[in-house]
A and B are shown apart, each in its own frame.
Chain A
Amino acid sequence: MPLTARISSLVIDSLCDRAQEDNIAVAGLYCDFLSQQEQATTNIIGALLKQLVNRGGIPDHLREAFQKAKKEFGGRVPRLADLMGMLKIVIASLPRVFICLDALDECLPKYVPEILESLRDIVQESPRTRIFLTGRPHVREDVQRYFLDAVVIPISPNPDDIRNYVEMRLDRDSEPEAMSNDLRVDIVRVILEKISNV
């Protein structure tokens, strides 16, 4: 599993752990090469909306929009503008919303500007909203085009993380009798050396 996804899940969990005390709402989404077609901006915005309204029943304005769409075209899919309108209302009704979007660069490139623009719209409407993004270094420019003051933290494999991971995997080895202490030390050492050369 990608490192950034682990980081995103950690951030989402750490936010959710204190959601009640801190009076915040959290919505998070993992983008993935394998389902690029599904990750159209409308579906992403819709998924965020879905998570945020899951908290407390379906609000009336959303129910009405759905009924209306159903009548109009036998249940046509909502347009981005509709979804954004609904999402903004929901966010404005909550004390503070955190949105996490993992692996932005795994969306189809044509959607990235639209997604960022939508997020910027949300922040302009509700300036207390916080947005957590991850992605390969090349999307940094895209992010900064829409969020000039975005804070960037570089993520790289951390030797401690790797050591912990390798040791965990060795502990779970299905044939522990094939392992000696020397071999174990060697495995950890060689892997860490290789990492430092990356």
Chain B
Amino acid sequence: MRWLSPLEPNNRHQGVRTERFDGVGNWLLETTEFREWRYNEGGADKAVLFCSGNPGVGKTYLR
């Protein structure tokens, strides 16, 4: 499997989720945009949801 890619995204995901604290971003899952993207059977033109934002919050933002 390593032949396909040296990247191990599952490890990174485990790292992020253990640091993530409950409740952050839950509002996103409730938006109409997210729900339509998630549940509707739309075709290729409805494929992409892009969350645009600066990554900083917490320490970088407060400095």
Contacts and interface: CB of A to CB of B under 8 A. Distances in A.
B11 to A, nearest CB: 10
A3 B53 contact: yes
A136 B13 contact: no
- Chain B, interface residues (CB within 8 Å), range: 35 or more
A contacts with B: majority SS: helix
A78 B52 contact: no
A4 B4 contact: no
Given A14-B29, A137-B53, A127 B47 contact: yes
B28 to A, nearest CB: 6
A3 B57 contact: yes
Contacts of B10: 51
Given A7-B25, A83-B4, A150-B48, 19 more contacts: A2-B55, A10-B28, A28-B9, A47-B5, A50-B1, A69-B3, A78-B4, A127-B43, A129-B47, A130-B48, A133-B51, A134-B50, A148-B45, A153-B28, A153-B49, A154-B53, A155-B53, A162-B57, A162-B58
Interface of B: 1, 3-10, 12-13, 16-17, 19-21, 23-29, 31, 33-34, 36-38, 41, 43-58, 61-62
